[in-house]
């Protein structure tokens, strides 16, 4: 369907109140394959999009076309194009940030927000690239690594399937490297992110060979630049969102994270601040023994938490 990006591809199931599902990196609408039927069966119109730059959605050439304010307008345009006025929005990973900012910037459209794996952290006073440069000491923080155009593409694109398998495994509870072997989110100076991938070559339990084929096929067709351009806009976002510095999101909200996910460890202070930054928060859950790919690793539990929350948002 037509959006400011040009075209936004989506998959939908069911009828009823609209729930918009926004994936993260490096994923696609397919990340929500186990939520779509569960939401539809519960009486919701569940819609999972390919964010611009991914899958079958448009891939603008300009790096600046992937700034947060434009992704927010894509989401609002999807709601309008579906013939709806409002929606609940749920996001995972980068999709969590996109969902949070959609609720922040367009409260007229997005009446409730669910955040998976990455908590809401309002815009602050430090330019993001400055903050990232201070993280990691002798090693390079992965966001900084991803910011240089072409650099990560040169690592990933010669073997998309192998790289994705390693990245997914490195952040999954049952295949992540033991503590002490170095974090996947830090790159040795002069090295590559994949240097920290697990050495076993084993896929996590949630990821079948067919699932990996789907993800790999999408990125083999599109390349990784559109997806990585999200990381290359963090300073633009910081400038664009100056008027919302420290702003809370008052709509009804939900957070679900994995207890073994590095994101929840780094951002523990952000989770603790949710009663202030998300004054409408109705639940905050850390799933024991769960990694980063939360709605795929623990689909049934996430579905239950989402549906319980949605019933509370809608009322009895």
Is 4 part of a structural domain of the chain?
no
Sign of CA dihedral 158, 48, 274, 303: negative
pLDDT of 137: 77
Is 5 part of a structural domain of the chain?
no
Neighbours of 56 (CB within 10 A): 16
Contact 103, 110 (CB under 8 A): yes
Is 141 part of a structural domain of the chain?
yes
Buried b (16+ CB within 10 A) or exposed e, 211-240: bbeebbebbeebebbbbbbbbbbbebbbeb
Q: In sequence order, what DSSP letters do the residues of 143-198 get, joined into one string?
A: HHHHHSTTHHHHHHGGGHHHHHHHHHHHTSTTTSPPTTS--TTEE-TT--GGGGS-
pLDDT of 2: 65
pLDDT of 125: 87
Q: Count of domains in the chain?
A: 1
β-strand pairing of 45-49 with 18-22: parallel
Is 114 part of a structural domain of the chain?
yes
Is 42 part of a structural domain of the chain?
yes
pLDDT of 247: 98
* Cα–Cα distance measured from residue 214 to residue 28, given in angstroms and rounded to the nearest whole number: 10
Known catalytic residue at 292: yes
pLDDT of 184: 85
Residue 180 CB-half CA count within 13 A: 1
Closest by Cα among 273, 245, 311 to 120: 273
Q: What are phi and psi of 28, to 5 degrees?
A: -170, -175
Contact 246, 124 (CB under 8 A): yes
Burial of 22 (0-12, 13-18, 19+ CB in 10 A): buried
Catalytic residue among 23, 92, 274, 292: 292
pLDDT of 181: 65
Q: Find the CATH number of the domain harbouring 229.
A: 3.40.50.1820
pLDDT of 170: 95
* Cα–Cα distance measured from residue 176 to residue 110, given in angstroms and rounded to the nearest whole number: 35
The domain of 273 spans 10-314
Buried b (16+ CB within 10 A) or exposed e, 176-198: bbeeeeebbbbbeeeebbbebbb
Tens of pLDDT, residue by residue, the chain (316 residues): 666 768 999 999 999 999 999 999 999 999 999 999 999 999 999 999 999 999 999 999 999 999 999 999 999 999 999 999 999 999 999 999 999 999 999 999 999 999 999 999 999 989 999 988 888 778 899 999 999 999 999 999 999 999 999 999 999 999 998 876 667 888 888 899 999 899 888 999 999 999 999 999 999 999 999 999 999 999 999 999 999 999 999 999 999 999 999 889 889 999 999 999 999 999 999 999 999 999 999 999 999 999 999 999 975 4
Catalytic residue among 50, 93, 240, 261: 93
Is 97 part of a structural domain of the chain?
yes
The token duo for 134 is 């201070």
Is 1 part of a structural domain of the chain?
no
Closest by Cα among 243, 291, 248, 251 to 273: 248
What separation, in Å, do the N-terminal and C-terminal C-alpha atoms of the chain show? 33
pLDDT of 316: 47
Helix residue ranges, H only, 260-298? 262-266, 268-272, 274-277, 294-297
Give the global pTM.
Answer: 0.96
* E strand or H helix that includes residue 210: helix 209-222
Is 159 part of a structural domain of the chain?
yes
Residue ranges with strand state E in the chain: 10-13, 18-22, 45-49, 87-92, 110-116, 140-141, 186-187, 253-258, 281-287
Known catalytic residue at 9: no
């Amino acid at each position: 369907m037509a959006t400011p990006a040009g075209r936004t591809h989506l998959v939908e199931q069911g009828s009823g109140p609209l729930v918009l599902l926004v994936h993260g990196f490096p994923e696609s609408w397919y990340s929500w394959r186990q939520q779509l039927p569960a939401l539809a069966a519960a009486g919701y119109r569940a819609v999972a999009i390919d964010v611009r730059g991914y899958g079958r959605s448009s891939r603008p050439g300009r790096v600046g076309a992937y700034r947060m304010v434009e992704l927010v307008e894509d989401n609002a345009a999807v709601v309008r194009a579906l013939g709806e006025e409002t929606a609940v929005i749920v996001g995972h990973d980068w999709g969590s940030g996109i969902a949070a900012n959609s609720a922040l910037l367009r409260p007229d459209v997005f009446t409730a927000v669910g955040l998976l794996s990455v908590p809401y952290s309002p815009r602050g006073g430090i330019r993001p690239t400055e903050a990232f440069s201070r993280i990691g000491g002798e090693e390079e923080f992965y966001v900084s690594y991803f910011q240089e155009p072409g650099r990560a593409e040169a690592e990933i694109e010669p073997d998309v399937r192998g790289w994705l398998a390693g990245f997914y495994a490195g952040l999954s509870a049952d295949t992540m490297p033991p503590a002490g072997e170095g974090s996947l989110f830090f790159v040795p100076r002069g090295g590559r992110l994949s240097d920290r991938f697990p050495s076993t070559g084993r896929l996590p339990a949630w990821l079948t060979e067919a699932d990996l084929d789907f993800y790999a096929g999408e990125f083999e067709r599109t390349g990784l630049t559109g997806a990585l351009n999200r990381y290359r806009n963090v300073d633009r976002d910081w400038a664009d969102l100056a008027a919302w510095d420290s702003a809370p999101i008052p709509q009804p909200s939900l957070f679900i994270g994995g207890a073994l996910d590095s994101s929840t460890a780094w951002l523990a202070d952000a989770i603790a601040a949710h009663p202030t930054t998300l004054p409408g928060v109705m639940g905050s859950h850390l799933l024991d023994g769960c990694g980063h790919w939360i709605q795929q690793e623990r689909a049934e539990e996430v579905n239950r938490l989402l549906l319980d929350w949605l019933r509370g948002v809608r009322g009895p």
